[in-house]
Chain A
């Protein structure tokens, strides 16, 4: 029986177009927004992999002219680059944005969107809490390689500052195997583990609702089927597509739910140490699951149904279902150990930094987690396993 919440809010964005020749639908999607000249924002690594050529070919026999391909993004989105791209956007008379890539590329595209839509030169007012005053230009995201979990959401990180606003949701996410196929096993594993944590935390969060379940359930199901086998094989297009879809669904569910402990800690620790969130999640998620097991936190039955399928769900006794789902989660995380080994840098994090991270995470949790709880999980996570 699904309990009906007394009250909930859910914003169902973005549109997802996934499958064979998905990219060729971008011109007709842009046409729906009366846009004909998008600016493409991408990174050098995407250009080097030849993905921009594939991408441009998708616009053949259309009336869409690409206003330019701004390929200066590296592993960091900054306001100076956003200003440059906005200048290019205005000079070419563009009317839409396409982010071809992951994390920083999408963040930069969102920042450029605010600058050009609001005719601003900096993001100061928005970082001070002002929401974008008018609808932004259509932003299309074409994820490539890996996901950091925020591409399909209403958040962006520019100059290490996070901005969250509903207007920042991309209009559509296009998942096409020609672009989305993973570049390395590590990238896929990072994508998978972040998506796993997002879907799990969205589904088990306090304020979850039927709409969150509707997205998190298939995401967990796809991850359970494809994560262990698909992550080590980036050339396996069906597994890559499944992981990309799962990541998009998990992100859409996650940004409608309060963030869980794994995310709060990963984000805070990532900011403090500069380590990639996927790598941190690989050590923090098992520690969070261990804590849930120790505290005997009740986990809803649906998680087992999503992770293990109907047969195992039906053969498990009611009270065991929560524990079984946590065991499966741990098995899934363990299956990535070869692809995503625990980082040596993570084991050398100073104690005072852990205190700071625990305080930050507990502060951002709006009272759902305490500092000692966060500190316990962190200490366990960065404990070097006995070899």
Chain B
């Protein structure tokens, strides 16, 4: 038998989807620490998590998604503080004082207490292109969770509220479990917090 008739098939790449997801993870990651300061509900949720706690949201398989090529050219503090999107991970750290920090997308040298991973790129695209809400994705088993499960559900609730702030209502309605009623999140509070989050998260 001529085995060359049946060649090996190496997996291709989807570069545009990777770039889109890197930007989305970076946007959400930058917004969460600010939202934890301005929104009492998010603050309360983060208080439930232990101190000195590191968590990450990523896309599996980790080996298939190395950091973007330009990371090597960036100064160390830009990579460390996650000032630019450069990978398919979102790393958050809660320090001893309970303050939340975004630590970019580089997992090297970090120990994770909670790791939530999308099983594949398309699963992450479903969530971040808002075709499926985050809780539905969780229910559909699109994530693999390593760590203490109640911490993961706490983080899911945080993601839900942050998406309400980051996205316009028409999109956020598709992304969250239930869009908050006006008396749960009054419009003035929502809009002011949204402006603060965008200004403080993306003005370095």
Contact = CB atoms under 8 A, between A and B. Distances in A.
Q: Do A and B bind each other?
A: yes
Interface of A: 19-21, 24-25, 27-28, 31, 56-57, 59-71, 84, 87-88, 91-92
B12 interface: yes
B6 A61 contact: no
22 contacts: A20-B126, A21-B123, A24-B122, A27-B120, A59-B12, A60-B11, A60-B12, A60-B14, A61-B11, A61-B14, A61-B65, A61-B120, A61-B121, A63-B61, A64-B11, A65-B11, A68-B6, A68-B8, A69-B9, A70-B6, A84-B1, A92-B8
B45 to A, nearest CB: 28
A63 B6 CA distance: 19
Interface string B7-21: 111111110011000
A140 to B, nearest CB: 15
A68 B8 CA distance: 5
B40 to A, nearest CB: 37
Contacts of B64: 61-63
A63 B12 CA distance: 10
Contact of A87 (B3, B9, B61): B3
Contacts of A25: 119-120, 123
Contacts of B119: 24-25, 28
A71 B8 CA distance: 13
A59 B11 contact: yes
Q: Which of B13, B18, B120, B140 has the most CB of A within 10 A?
A: B120
B3 A68 contact: yes
Contacts of B72: none
Contacts of B121: 24, 60-61
Given A61-B11, A61-B13, A62-B64, A28 B1 contact: no
B108 interface: no
B179 to A, nearest CB: 23
Chain B: interface secondary structure? loop
B33 to A, nearest CB: 29
Contacts of A61: 11-14, 17-18, 64-65, 120-121
A39 to B, nearest CB: 9
A60 B61 contact: no
Interface residues of B, number: 26
A92 B3 contact: yes
Nearest to B121: A61
B163 to A, nearest CB: 21
Contacts of B123: 21, 24-25
B8 A66 contact: yes
Given A64-B11, A65-B11, A28 B6 contact: no
A118 B64 CA distance: 33
Contacts of B65: 61
A24 B8 CA distance: 19
A63 B10 CA distance: 9
A19 B126 CA distance: 13
Contact of A56 (B3, B9, B13): B9
A88 B14 contact: no
Nearest to B1: A84
B99 to A, nearest CB: 34
A67 B8 contact: yes
Given A28-B119, A61-B14, A21 B126 contact: yes
User: Nearest 7 A-B pairs (CB), nearest first?
Assistant: A68-B6, A66-B9, A24-B120, A28-B119, A21-B122, A24-B122, A60-B12
